[in-house]
Amino acid sequence: MKDSIYQRHIRVAMVYFAIATLLGILLRFYPIIPFDFNYRYVVHAHSHIALLGWVYVALTTLIHCSFVKKDAASKRYGTIFWATQITLIGMLLTFPFQGYALFSIIFSTLFLIVSYVFFHHFSKHIDPKFGNSNALKCIKAALWYMVTSSFGPWALGVIMATLGAQSIWYRLAIYFYLHFQYNGWMLLALIGLFLFAMERCGTAIPQKSFMRFFWILNAGVVLTFFLSTLWTRPSPGFYVLGGIGALAQCCAFVLLWVLAKKGNLVQQLSIIQYLLLRTVMVLVGIKIILQLLTSLPYFAQMAVIHLDLTIGYLHLTFLGVISMGLFFFMDHFGLFRITKRPFLLYVLGFLITESLIFYKGLAAWQHWVVFNRYTEILAWGSLFIPLGLLIMLARNRAKT
């Protein structure tokens, strides 16, 4: 399979990202301009296209490009890819107009089924040369977390029919899905791709050191789910488990940093790739600090009461750690060029929106006055994000 196919698929993922950010712009301007749409329905479309259109398509493209024997899997991969697009376009055409209803549920359910088919396809067609690869171990674990996360959506139907949407189990099922998507599937897939890049540059991590890192990291992934349950004011044991998970993730990333320093990957990066990697490292550090804080009862309740802090954390993870991590690999593997000026526009929008969202949450906590025209500045600052993405798409399209 030619790399040009993967390049096209990455561009498709970036189109979904641009669409998701434009839907986000609509939501940001909703309090300012009297748009005639259902806010909650557009939120559903925004989140589904961001997670399943942008991140899922980009990650599956990258891992298929990296680990699968192309000649044996080309036709079936193409079929799975386009089946995925049908489900995504179906969600894009239904969620904004009906929210969770018959047709949007059908398309989102079909997406889950097609993702299982991809998992099976990938597992059967891994290139044998990666049999003992540390990177592949992380990718396999990531895909298992992807499957595990889907238990949340399947459980929602049962919970709705028996306990109702007001039950704490309804929210817990959603948080279960989001946690194992963000901190399981997406995070481990990025780490697997990072290790693949290191291995491709000739850096082999000793098996004993890797397995120590691998099990500490996975313990952290599982145990930090308890941080997503703290809004229920559970027994102290849940706080302890969540705190242990946050510490485990912290230790795992310190180990990864120590192991990565011994390699020669950094010496082979371009300026923009080095900038991307350093930015992701800083954002991962901030993410871990926030997780550690929320394992403490005071800060856990603060995040529950002041929703902007939670939204800021989720955007930090998604727009920062995950999306910029994907930018790094897309550029490093030569599938999509990230150029400096549009990337800086994206970063500017990210910094403006994150600063304002966290400021509002802190203002509510400390009883500060939120300055005039906050909503307008947040909305206009958000425009830099899709602007940067659209310029990236235009430049990559011009080069093909």
Q: How confident is the prediction along the chain (400 residues), in pLDDT tens digits per residue?
A: 445 899 999 999 999 999 999 999 999 999 998 888 899 999 999 999 999 999 999 999 999 999 998 775 678 899 999 999 999 999 999 999 998 888 999 999 999 999 999 999 999 988 888 888 999 999 999 999 999 999 999 998 888 888 877 888 999 999 999 999 999 999 999 999 999 998 888 777 888 889 999 999 999 999 999 999 988 888 999 999 999 999 999 999 999 888 887 777 778 889 999 999 999 999 999 999 999 999 999 998 898 899 999 999 999 999 999 999 999 999 999 999 999 999 999 999 999 999 999 999 999 999 898 988 999 999 999 999 999 999 999 999 876 5
Is the alpha carbon torsion for 268, 57, 150, 78 positive or negative? Answer: negative
Q: How far apart are CA 215 and CA 89, in angstroms?
A: 38
Provide the pLDDT for residue 341: 94
User: Could you give the 3-state DSSP secondary structure of residue 126?
Assistant: strand
311: its two tokens = 């939204």
H-type alpha helices, the chain = 3-29, 39-48, 57-67, 70-98, 102-124, 134-149, 151-162, 168-179, 187-200, 207-223, 236-261, 271-294, 297-305, 307-315, 323-332, 340-366, 374-382, 384-398
Question: Nearest to residue 302, comparing CAs of 246, 355, 362?
Answer: 362
Residue pair 128/194 in contact (Cβ under 8 Å)? The answer is no
Residue with tokens 């939670």: 310
Q: How far apart are CA 283 and CA 313, in angstroms?
A: 10
Provide the pLDDT for residue 165: 76
Torsion of CA 302, 305, 309, 314, to 10 degrees: 110
Q: How far apart are CA 335 and CA 239, in angstroms?
A: 42
Residue with tokens 């599938």: 335
Provide the pLDDT for residue 1: 43
Contacts 24+ apart (CB under 8 A), 42-46: 42/95, 42/96, 44/95, 44/96, 44/99, 44/100, 44/104, 45/91, 45/92, 45/95, 45/96, 46/20
Phi, psi of 68, deg, nearest 5:
-105, 140
Amino acid at 3: D
Q: How crowded is residue 93: how many other Cβ atoms within 10 Å of its Cβ?
A: 14
Residue pair 42/100 in contact (Cβ under 8 Å)? The answer is no
Per-residue DSSP letter, 52: I
212: its two tokens = 């120590």
386: its two tokens = 């899709």
Q: How far apart are CA 26 and CA 328, in angstroms?
A: 28
Q: Tell me the CB-side half-sphere exposure of residue 52, using CA atoms within 13 A.
A: 29
